[in-house]
């Protein structure tokens, strides 16, 4: 039996972030992805939200379409660096 779509999407995003050297962990029940910013004490929680259509972080104020895992990884990396990405806003 394959994992629910949201978990599979988070796993794909996790693999992409890890290949970029960004530390990640699976959240509780694998329903979230914990992304660690170097030097920060708390991780950023990433979920699949908006009806399954977007990866969401920053309390849902930042998001990126799940159909673009590569772009979501880049948007998250930019967010970790403190840069704003116009596509990653809602």
Tens-digit pLDDT profile for residues 9-52: 999 999 999 999 999 999 988 999 999 998 888 999 999 988 89
pLDDT for 75-88, tens place per residue? Answer: 999 999 988 655 54
Is the pLDDT score of 2 beyond 70?
no
The C-alpha R_g of the chain, in whole angstroms, comes to 12
Is the pLDDT score of 63 beyond 60?
yes
Is the pLDDT score of 1 beyond 80?
no
What pLDDT score was predicted for residue 77? 95
Strands of the sheet with 33-35, listed across from one edge: 24-26, 33-35, 44-49, 54-57, 62-65
What pLDDT score was predicted for residue 66? 96
Reading the block at residue 79, the tokens are: 């967010």
């Amino acid at each position: 039996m394959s994992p629910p779509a949201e978990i599979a999407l988070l796993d794909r995003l996790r693999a992409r972030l890890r290949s970029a050297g960004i530390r990640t962990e699976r959240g509780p029940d694998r329903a979230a992805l914990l992304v660690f910013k170097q030097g920060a004490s708390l991780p950023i929680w990433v979920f699949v939200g908006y009806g399954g259509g977007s990866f969401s972080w920053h309390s849902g104020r930042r998001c990126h379409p799940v159909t673009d895992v590569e772009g979501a990884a880049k948007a998250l990396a930019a967010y970790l660096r403190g840069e704003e990405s116009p596509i990653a806003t809602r």
